[in-house]
């Protein structure tokens, strides 16, 4: 049997550090045509090493993107909470002013 092509694959599964029950599952695969002048074992070894390095680089990229997204979500959440707190304070202030007016009317009688 003559080998004409070699396919090598690499995959990882790792947790998303910013979400519960969420994983990343990247997978890479490459196929090359070979001829009789090359050692199939050496080709497989080289391809596997290259794919493993690409997979490690891709994992780091995914984690950096997840960190950036998490930071955006966190900032948006904090801004919503800040605005909600401002609205709550404004409503309490208006309620107290209304109570003060009611109390001062009662004193005039």
The residue assigned the tokens 């196929």 is 31
Higher-confidence residue of 48 and 38: namely 48
Domain that holds residue 71: 5-108
Q: Is the pLDDT of residue 101 over 70?
A: no
Q: 32 and 5 in contact (C-beta within 8 Å)?
A: yes
Q: What distance in Å separates the CA atoms of residue 28 and residue 32, rounded to the nearest whole number?
A: 14
Q: How confident is the model at residue 48 (pLDDT cuts 50, 70, 90)?
A: very high
How, if at all, do strands 14-15 and 27-33 pair? unpaired
Report how many domains make up the chain: 1
Q: In this structure, what are the phi and psi dihedrals at residue 2, rounded to the nearest 5 degrees?
A: -100, 125
What global pTM score does this model have?
Answer: 0.66
Q: 61 and 69 in contact (C-beta within 8 Å)?
A: no
Q: 19 and 69 in contact (C-beta within 8 Å)?
A: no
pLDDT in tens, 10-37: 999 999 999 888 999 999 999 999 887 7
Q: Is the pLDDT of residue 104 over 70?
A: no
Q: Is the pLDDT of residue 107 over 60?
A: no
**Which residues in the chain belong to E strands, given as ranges?**
5-11, 14-15, 23-24, 27-33
Q: How confident is the model at residue 40 (pLDDT cuts 50, 70, 90)?
A: confident
């Amino acid at each position: 049997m003559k080998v004409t092509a070699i396919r090598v694959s690499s995959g990882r599964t790792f947790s998303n550090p910013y979400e519960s029950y969420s994983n990343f599952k990247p997978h890479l695969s490459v196929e090359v045509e070979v001829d009789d002048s090359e050692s199939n074992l050496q080709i497989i070894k080289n391809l596997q090493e290259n794919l493993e390095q690409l997979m490690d680089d891709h994992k780091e990229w995914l984690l950096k993107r997840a960190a950036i997204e998490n930071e955006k979500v966190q900032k948006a959440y904090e801004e919503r909470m800040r605005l909600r707190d401002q609205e709550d304070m404004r409503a309490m202030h208006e309620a107290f002013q209304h109570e003060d007016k009611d109390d001062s009317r009662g004193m005039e009688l």
